[in-house]
Amino acid sequence: MGRALTILLLASAWPVAVAAQPALPKPLRDVGFDQKLDAQVPPGLAFKDESGRAVKLGDYFGDKPVVLVLAYFRCPLLCNQVLNGLLEAMLAIPFDAGQEYRVVTVSFDPRETPEMARLKKRTYVERYARAGADAGWHFLTGDAGAIRQLTDAVGFRFTYDAKHDQFAHASGIMVLTPQGRVSRYFYDIKYSPRDVRFGLIEASANKIGSPVDKVLLFCFHYDPAEGKYGPAVMAFVRLGGVATVIALGAFLTIMWRHEIRQGRQMLNLPQAPGRRSGG
């Protein structure tokens, strides 16, 4: 009975802990995604590809849906997780980048260079390792004006933290129709291959998806001078706390049931020889 009460107390304590979390710090209050479904991504925006060649976003529109990723290449945490999560989904679906769809990754740091884009592209194309990937996955850099027009068009809000020379931003990807209209948003750092596959199918047919719940992870810094983790790391810590509570609850439940079974077995044991029941 004591163990069962412990499980109930742990389960009831979690919502209180969540409700008691402080508000987002100032750098993250204007960070996130505004879902602008059916919005047109401006095709005339000028960028440079990983080779340094001048391109326009419209060069990647026309006959295939596009997965759009906004990620800066020096990001210390979340951008790589977004790209890794996308890569896992891409490897799990039967469609090939460059054949059935394109991927366009755009840095939102105007200081980043085509050389940085080239190195990032090489890493992910090698890991993807499918024929035609080099022509199907593009990494772009651009100036602040083009970046701002693109991020405004798709509702991606981010801020720059000058103190730590990092960007505060949320995690997610977008699927565009072949003409460059926003068809669907996917949040977090893990993307269901089934959902991505259907998202590409819908976008290829120029269908616009429905708004989805915002479950965002934020990228923010760890300040060794202050000894504090930013919200991105704390999100993982809190998720780890949830996992610990669940695992502990499951363990205690198993032990409780085991003791009940043992007690029932003892009650059903035959009486030992040489002993009588009663007085």
Instruction: Give me the mean pLDDT over the 161-174 stretch.
Output: 87
pLDDT > 90: percent of the chain: 55
- Going by pLDDT thresholds of 50, 70 and 90, the confidence category of residue 235 is very low
In terms of Cβ atoms closer than 10 Å to its own Cβ (0-12, 13-18, 19+), residue 42 is middle
Q: Where are the alpha helices (DSSP H) in 21-113?
A: 78-92
Place of tokens 């105007």: 110
Residue 209, pLDDT score: 84
Q: Is the pLDDT of residue 213 over 60?
A: no
pLDDT at 266: 52
> What is the length of the chain?
279
With 80 as the cut, is the pLDDT of residue 69 above it? yes
- Cβ-Cβ contacts under 8 Å for 238 (sequence gap 6 or more): 18, 21
Asked whether residue 156 carries a pLDDT value surpassing 90, the answer given is yes
> What is the signed CA dihedral for 92, 94, 95, 98, rounded to 10 degrees?
80
Residues 102-121: pLDDT tens digits? 999 999 999 999 999 999 99
Higher pLDDT, 143 or 278: 143
Query: Whole-number mean pLDDT of the chain?
Result: 77
Q: Is 148 helix (H, G, I), strand (E, B) or coil?
A: helix
Q: At what angle do helices 78-92 and 114-128 cross, to 10 degrees?
A: 40
Task: Enter the DSSP assignment of 141.
Answer: B
Average pLDDT over residues 79-90: 95
User: Residue 274 pLDDT more than 60?
Assistant: no
